[in-house]
Amino acid sequence: MSLPDLLTATEDSRTLVALNTWLRRLDAGERIAWALESLPGEHALSSSFGAQAAVSLHLATRARADIPVILIDTGYLFPETHRFAEELRARIGLNLKIYRPRPESAWSAARVEGLADGGATAIADYNRVHKVEPMRRALADLQANTWIAGIRRSQSLSRGKIDFLELRDGRWKLHPLADWTDRDIWHYLLEHNLPYHPLWHEGYVSIGDVHTTRRWLPGMRDEDTRFFGLARECGLHAVG
């Protein structure tokens, strides 16, 4: 079956298996270039402007300089994250699209302070309001039928089996860096003189909101640094 034939059979699970087998042979830049040329509709890249975000931003904008870049500003990002996003926006020339939670639904600072006491249920409720709903709105507003994200298998156990390409409720989702290691990231940043998030150098290996992110300490798994060790994923990358 040829690649064009595969793209017409989107509901067949064998299609995705064959596409992912084919994408495995490409490098990350080639995966992005193929997606921009071959996958339908508008394309968008999401970024949390986390520790190693510069890689996916640089790769994608080399292929398409004006690709919309979605940043979900939860209202509780680190000040360093805002400065990092502005630095990369100016340096790379990002077409940045910032989305925030709806004011009528957003959690107050006082409510957020008690988030850990509410456990996994409260964390899921917070993420639904501050991350998932804004992402759904962003993808709809941008009419994005193809969503590119920089998540990787080596980042956590929960991401250990992600495919290069998924199909969610009719929308393609590409993970061009799925098979990259931390060493691959480091080499790319060094080669292109790109920065890590400034908090990386202070021991933060995964960077989200101020109240749900902890510095890594010996004996911790990377996922223990997020959401009080009760959760790793916010649900954003499960958006259909």
Q: What is the pLDDT of residues 139-157, one digit of tens each?
A: 999 999 999 999 888 776 7
Q: Residue 234's pLDDT is what?
A: 53
Sign of the dihedral through C-alpha 194, 198, 204, 208: negative
| 98: its two tokens | 């910032």
Among the residue ranges 8-22, 80-94, 216-230, the one predicted with the least confidence is 8-22
Q: Residue 2's pLDDT is what?
A: 40
Question: Which band of pLDDT confidence, cut at 50, 70 and 90, is reported for residue 89?
Answer: very high
Whether the CB-CB separation of 81 and 197 falls below 8 Å is answered with: yes
Q: Residue 223's pLDDT is what?
A: 78
What is the CATH code for 28-238? 3.40.50.620
Q: Residue 173's pLDDT is what?
A: 94
Q: Is the pLDDT of residue 115 over 60?
A: yes
Neighbours of 185 (CB within 10 A): 21
Question: Which band of pLDDT confidence, cut at 50, 70 and 90, is reported for residue 40?
Answer: confident
Question: Which band of pLDDT confidence, cut at 50, 70 and 90, is reported for residue 37?
Answer: very high
Q: What is the pLDDT of residues 45-58, one digit of tens each?
A: 999 999 999 999 99
pLDDT averaged over every residue in the chain: 89
Mind telling me the catalytic residues?
234
What is the SS3 assignment for 24-65?
Answer: CCCCHHHHHHHHHHHCCCEEEEECCCCCCCHHHHHHHHHHCC
Q: What is the pLDDT of residues 189-237, one digit of tens each?
A: 999 999 999 999 999 988 999 999 999 888 888 778 887 877 655 556 5
| 206: its two tokens | 């995964």
The answer to whether the predicted template modeling score (pTM) of the entire model surpasses 0.85 is yes
Neighbours of 177 (CB within 10 A): 26
